Structure 1
Amino acid sequence: MRPFFRRLAGMGGAILGPVLAPVLGIVALAGGGLGAIAAMPGVSHKGPLPVWTAEERELAARLRTHVTAIASTEHNVVRHRELEEAARYIDRTLSGYGFAVKSQEFEADGKPVRNLEVSIAGKGSEAQRDIIVVGAHYDSVIGAPGANDNGSGTAAVIELARSLRGAALPDTKELKLVLFVNEEPPYFKSEQMGSHVHARDLASRGRKVTAMLSLETIGYYSDEKGSQHYPPPLDALYPDAGNFIGFVGDMGSRSLVHQAIAAFRKHAAFPSEGIAAPSAIPGIDWSDHWAYRQYGYPAIMITDTAPYRYPHYHTAQDTPDKIDYERTARVVKGIEAIVRELAGAR
């Protein structure tokens, strides 16, 4: 996610009010009122979380292993050797789960980089299959190891692949689990952004993507009042404790936001909040889902809200010890339920 988002989160209301007033006017017009952007189906979990199961504790341990392996040091095009080491770990782990891993290779500033993809498909022909993409970027911003941004999302995609291997899909469905390179600046919203390369390839081949979920910075939670921040007046609509997972999309993906959060709330005993709003609001399109929206595909972000909550965002302190692995495991199980519903997996 972009550094400007962090700066925006730290601005005072005196600055943000005038900046966001026109945008919030757009929201009111587009959504039938400011509250409409936050109106979501189902009911968010309230109160204490259920006792952790043995399965969730085992999942938390695996997530910790992945984050530590991938995001203990800075890894990006500037630190190319470390970036490729992270890619090799992802490749090796997914191969160990029985997948044939596809590397989508291209160049960034003269250096070879790659997306990594595994697929689970129904028996229909490629032309018959609609695609659900679940992805996360595995590169870190310059100057940070990127444990939460986005080792947490990367680890989640790896574990989703593990839990979904062997799932039976309808003939007309295909699930692609993708780890993207180059989400962070200077590649964000450029043709060298890994998710843009992936989305462009699907569009060029006429593939139909019915849903894309971008897992972006999903590992930090706090029950303390005042731990969650927003630009005004969104603070009037959402809780002030950063203990929830967020579902974020633009107006064109509103249906997918609603579908995803409804499935999550049905299956996961974990707090959740959602927003479907114009992309003019800073942060709405600041992850890999942006790339798929450029080609008209429904796409959303699932996030802990990053700089609106996480004090170590884009710093050298974004290390594996900062992640709440048990709560992240609960979130990953909820995302698995969403994916199974979207894909019709059995």
Structure 2
Amino acid sequence: MVESDKQNNGDQLSQNQRELADKLEEDVRYLSEYIGERNMRRPVRMEKTAAWIEDRMHRAGYSVTRQTYQIQSGAFQGSSADNVIAELKGKRNPEEIIIIGAHYDTVPGSPGANDNSSAVAVLLMLAEWFKDSSQSRTIRFVSFANEEPPFFKTEDMGSYAYARKAKENGEQIKAMIAMDGLGYFSDQEGSQRFPLPGLGLFYPSTANFIVFASRVADRDLMNKSLDTFRKSTELKAEGVALPGITPGVSWSDHWSFWQFDYPAFMITDTLPFRDPNYHSPADTAERLDYHHMALIAEGLKHIISSLASG
């Protein structure tokens, strides 16, 4: 989105929303500029990122835990990685759990401003908002390790290790939301592409909207959440429920929860289908639209409140 468009959008925000946008940008810049590339090739930076998220959650008032797991195969076999977990215990139905997740690693060579500092920043803001709230169900805010290749769609993803342990423990996860790439938007016609040519007949070709994506089995959960989002924010949002084998539909941490029959969907700007600097050294903070991210955060706040009230 060109700068003039960002400014016009910013003029329409409330003072609270502008402050939120500034805070989101601060967190994205910390992750992508101060820490930078973070993956198992750079274990010190992975630890620095996990420790920073842990500290932020502590300062928000949470008791924070880490789930440490061992990588089972490949070049990093035997290495350990950490998921960072902050929990808000439900008041009436604490055994019923809502998971809000975002991965904190990047591909090699990328600072990962959009993928996935943008979602981590929103995750932290959501956790701060909910700390003093009273919800029926338990809410967990989880920062996952190792979503990116070479771990992508393997048992060595942090989210897979988490979902597997949850299933072993008999946990009742009622919904999981994976946030992945929330910051890149454009008002240029033709800026939005699709994994299947036919989808372009039903969805906008301008990348100025956010997408909710799920497998067909979780369509009702996704549609309910999409409806809540649309009622709570002016940001355009589209929903798509397709077979899990469709390119793009399963490309994040929600895939891991599907493997254990937990309902889950993704919220995303669609990453490679619109962002020209996806998975590249040019995935930098100044490209992102923090005003839109502020609206996404507010919409997600209403979704979580609705899901956790059950």
SS of the residue aligned with 1:233?
helix
The aligned counterpart of 1:241 is 206
Task: Within 5 Å, give how 1:11-160 maps onto structure 2.
Answer: 51-72=12-33, 73-108=36-71, 109=76, 110-124=78-92, 129-160=95-126
The aligned counterpart of 1:166 is 132
Give TM-score scaled by structure 2 length: 0.92
Amino acid at match of 1:149: D
Q: CA deviation at 1:123?
A: 3.3
Q: CA deviation at 1:112?
A: 2.7
**Following the alignment from structure 1 to structure 2, what is the Cα–Cα distance between the partners of residues 259 and 117?**
26
The aligned counterpart of 1:252 is 217
- Contact 2:91/2:134 (<8 A) preserved: no
Q: Larger Rg: 1 or 2?
A: 1
Q: CA deviation at 1:284?
A: 0.8
**Following the alignment from structure 2 to structure 1, what is the Cα–Cα distance between the partners of residues 101 and 274?**
22
Task: Within 5 Å, give how 1:310-329 maps onto structure 2.
Answer: 310-329=275-294
Give TM-score scaled by structure 1 length: 0.82
2:147 equivalent to 1:179: no
Amino acid at match of 2:129: S
Amino acid at match of 1:297: Y
The aligned counterpart of 2:299 is 334
**Following the alignment from structure 1 to structure 2, what is the Cα–Cα distance between the partners of residues 262 and 100?**
32
**Following the alignment from structure 1 to structure 2, what is the Cα–Cα distance between the partners of residues 50 and 333?**
17
The aligned counterpart of 2:6 is none
Amino acid at match of 2:31: I
CA deviation string 1:83-118 (max 9, x = no partner): 111111111111111111111112332333200011
**Following the alignment from structure 1 to structure 2, what is the Cα–Cα distance between the partners of residues 120 and 201?**
19
**Following the alignment from structure 1 to structure 2, what is the Cα–Cα distance between the partners of residues 102 and 88?**
11
Amino acid at match of 2:286: D
Task: Within 5 Å, give how 1:189-208 maps onto structure 2.
Answer: 189-208=153-172
The aligned counterpart of 1:38 is none
Task: Within 5 Å, give how 1:232-311 maps onto structure 2.
Answer: 232-311=197-276
Amino acid at match of 2:24: L
Amino acid at match of 2:131: R
CA deviation string 1:229-248 (max 9, x = no partner): 11301111110100000000
Q: CA deviation at 1:68?
A: 1.4
The aligned counterpart of 1:9 is none
Q: CA deviation at 1:62?
A: 1.2
- Contact 1:264/1:335 (<8 A) preserved: yes
Aligned with residue 180 of structure 2, among 216, 223, 226 = 216
- Contact 2:39/2:106 (<8 A) preserved: yes
SS of the residue aligned with 1:60?
helix
- Contact 2:191/2:205 (<8 A) preserved: yes
Amino acid at match of 1:247: F
- Contact 2:93/2:138 (<8 A) preserved: no
Q: CA deviation at 1:125?
A: 7.4
The aligned counterpart of 1:228 is 192
Q: Which runs of 5+ in 2 are unaligned?
A: 1-8
CA deviation string 1:260-309 (max 9, x = no partner): 10100111111000100111211111100000011111100000010111
**Following the alignment from structure 2 to structure 1, what is the Cα–Cα distance between the partners of residues 31 and 70?**
21
What value does the CA root-mean-square deviation take over the aligned residues? 1.5
Q: CA deviation at 1:71?
A: 2.1
Amino acid at match of 2:28: V
SS of the residue aligned with 1:71?
helix
Amino acid at match of 1:157: L
- Contact 1:251/1:277 (<8 A) preserved: yes
**Following the alignment from structure 2 to structure 1, what is the Cα–Cα distance between the partners of residues 44 and 101?**
22
Compared CA separation, residues 147 and 338, structure 1 to 2 (3 A) = same
Q: CA deviation at 1:49?
A: 8.8
SS of the residue aligned with 1:317?
coil
Compared CA separation, residues 239 and 49, structure 1 to 2 (3 A) = farther
